[in-house]
């Protein structure tokens, strides 16, 4: 994997312990993590963009992964975070199964490149069942980052 994932993820934007119990709570919690980076000028605009995208079609993928994302002028560059939940959360996934691995990105409205690349790297990375299982067992942000940094 090229390092662009790690360009966007830091110990501060990765958590092994999301508390939310439903889709809305998880989205808000992930957005709070992203907002703590100081790179989001308008939390409400970012939230609206993410929820609008979610309303069009759920970002709950398969294999327990969801990638809520939105495009908004509230950010000037792609901002991302990763959260793991100890409890399965219903995210209206494509395969009908609940999610425990969440990757959120918020990116500028006018730029698609970094956003598409990030999502494509995430999906490649998470095809591995053993990698997903290790993420679910990770106890801290450092471990999550190490797993994400490994080559497939």
pLDDT at site 1:
38
Q: Which member of 55, 69, 87, 110 is catalytic?
A: 69
Catalytic status, residue 69: yes
pTM: 0.93
116 versus 145: the higher-pLDDT residue is: 145
Answer for the pair 94, 27: CB distance below 8 angstroms, yes or no. Answer: no
pLDDT at site 2:
43
Residue pLDDT, tens place only, 22-78: 999 999 999 999 999 999 999 999 999 999 999 999 999 889 999 999 999 999 999
Domain boundaries, the chain: 4-147
Cα–Cα dist 85/88, whole Å: 7
As assigned by CATH, the class of the 4-147 domain is alpha beta
User: Residue 128 to residues 92, 119, 124, 131, 142: CA-CA distances in angstroms?
Assistant: 22, 15, 8, 5, 19
């Amino acid at each position: 994997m090229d390092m662009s994932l790690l360009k966007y993820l830091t110990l501060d934007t990765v958590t092994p312990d999301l508390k939310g119990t439903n889709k809305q709570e998880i989205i808000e919690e992930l957005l709070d993590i992203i907002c703590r980076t100081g790179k989001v000028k308008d939390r409400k605009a970012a939230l609206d963009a993410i929820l609008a995208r979610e309303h069009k079609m759920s970002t709950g993928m398969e294999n327990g992964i969801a990638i809520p994302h939105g495009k908004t002028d509230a950010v000037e560059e792609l901002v991302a975070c990763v959260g793991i939940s100890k409890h399965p959360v219903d995210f209206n996934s494509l395969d009908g199964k609940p999610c425990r691995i969440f990757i959120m990105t918020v990116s500028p409205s006018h730029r698609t490149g970094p956003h598409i690349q990030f999502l494509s790297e995430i999906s490649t990375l998470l095809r591995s069942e053993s990698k997903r299982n290790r993420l679910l067992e990770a106890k801290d942000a450092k471990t999550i980052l190490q797993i994400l940094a490994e080559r497939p």
